[in-house]
A and B are shown apart, each in its own frame.
Chain A
Amino acid sequence: MKVKYFAWVRERVGKAEEMIEPPASVRTVDDLIAWLAKRGETYAHAFETPRVIRAAIDHAHVKPDATIAGAREIAFFPPMTGG
C-alpha cells in the first residue's frame, strides 16, 4: 500500500510518500503507526506521540482503531489548521 505524510509528519519522516508492505499482524491504523515508528530514528521521531497523529484511508478520515485491510492509500498528518 501507499503511505503519504503531510506537514511536520512529512518533514520528520523525511519523505512525502512511499510504498510499504507491513506484515499481516498489522491490522489497524494504530498498529501501523507502531510498526512505522520502529522503522528508524526519523520515523520514531515522527510518530513519538501517536495520539496527535491523524489518519486518512483512501481520502477519508479514520479513527485509530480502523482496519487497514484493503486500503490503497493511507495518510498520516497532524491536526488540520486550514481555513
Chain B
Amino acid sequence: MKKSRLNVLVIEDNELNRYLLTFLLEHRGHRVRSATDGPAGIALAKALLPDLVLLDIQLPTMHGYDVAATLREVESVGNIPIIAVTSHAMAGDRENALAAGCSGYIEKPIDPDTFVDEVESVCWQSPDMESS
C-alpha cells in the first residue's frame, strides 16, 4: 500500500540546496528532516527510521557512497530506499551510486517541476514500501 505522506531524510551539505529540497518535498506534503554530513545523517537515520533518504554524494568528512554503504549494513535502516542526488556526473557515477546501495540517482541541477515525482516513483517502486 502506498504511503502518501513520506518521512524523508535529506543529507546535503549545501544550505541552499538543502532548503530547496526541503521546500519542494514539504510543498507536496512530505515531512522532511535534514543532516549536513554523513555521520550526522547516519545517526539521524537510525533514530528516525525515515521512509526515504535523499543523499548528496559530495559530502564533507564522509563520501556519499560510504554513507550509503554504511546505511545498508545497519539492520534497522538497511532496506530504506536511498536516492543519490549528485552534481558529480562523471563516467560511471550512476553505476557507482547503484553499486554503493542507492536505489535511484537524480542528477543536479534538479528540475523543480519533476523532482518530487521522480523521488516518489523511486520510493513507491521500492519493495520495502509495499509492506509498510
A binds B: no
